[in-house]
Structure 1
Amino acid sequence: MIKPFLILAGVAAVCAVAGAAQAGAIDKACQKSERPGNRALCGCIQQVADMTLSGNDQRRAAGFFNEPDKAQQVRQSDHASDESFWLRYKAFAETAEALCAR
């Protein structure tokens, strides 16, 4: 099974879509991450985040760029709030892959 945080990494490697988006938590994390990306890709991912995640969810998801182990911890958590977040995050990642991939 492909993990959603790996989907974001894959999207970062193949995306070349999107106009200029206002820098948000996801965009900033994408730009600073160790994964080479470009402005268009990070902007596209941010646009999807703006459509699918709340500001709090975006800030939480942004942490996955630098600490992917956090994503695994959330995914495996037994807390209802983590499960709810994970479902929203997974939908975001799938949408970002569909809209931002070449």
Structure 2
Amino acid sequence: MKKSILWAVSLAVALPVLSSIASAGPIENACNRSERKAANRQLCACIQQVADMTLRGSDQRRAVAFFKDPEKAHKVWMSKNDNDDAFWDRYKAFGAQAQAYCGG
């Protein structure tokens, strides 16, 4: 009996933590894994919120690559491709809103 109560209490405590980890978006995950000194869970979660409001899922997945390899961002910025230009406009707007909203 005590074991089942302890298990239920442990599960009740663990579920919110596990669900918040599972629900983290691609930007938040990349931010948390980055080696940037300013990155912390609260800031990364805030940036993900802004990403959810401003970027499509495919844009978010594309932007994740910039955390790993900033040179990719430079290549997109310098590209003459119309799709890259449109993405860059959305990404730039996201960055400005994230900075204003999250203070990062």
Identify the TM-score tier after normalising by the shorter chain: 0.7 to 0.9
- Find the aligned partners of 2:72 and 2:97 in 1 and give their Cα distance: 21
- Give the structure with the higher percent helix: 2
Equivalent residues in 2 for 1:5-16, closer than 5 Å: none
Aligned match of 1:27: 28
Q: CA RMSD in A?
A: 1.5
Aligned match of 2:66: 64
Aligned match of 2:97: 95
TM-score (norm 1): 0.77
Percent pairwise identity? 55
- Find the aligned partners of 2:90 and 2:59 in 1 and give their Cα distance: 8
Q: How many residues align?
A: 83
Give the ranges of 4+ consecutive aligned residues of structure 1 lying more than 3 Å apart after TM superposition.
none
Greater RCO (CA < 8 Å, at least 6 residues apart): 1
TM-score (norm 2): 0.76
Query: Are the equivalent residues in 2 in contact too, given 1:34–1:66 (CA < 8 A)?
Result: no
Q: Unmatched 5+ residue regions in structure 1? A: 1-19
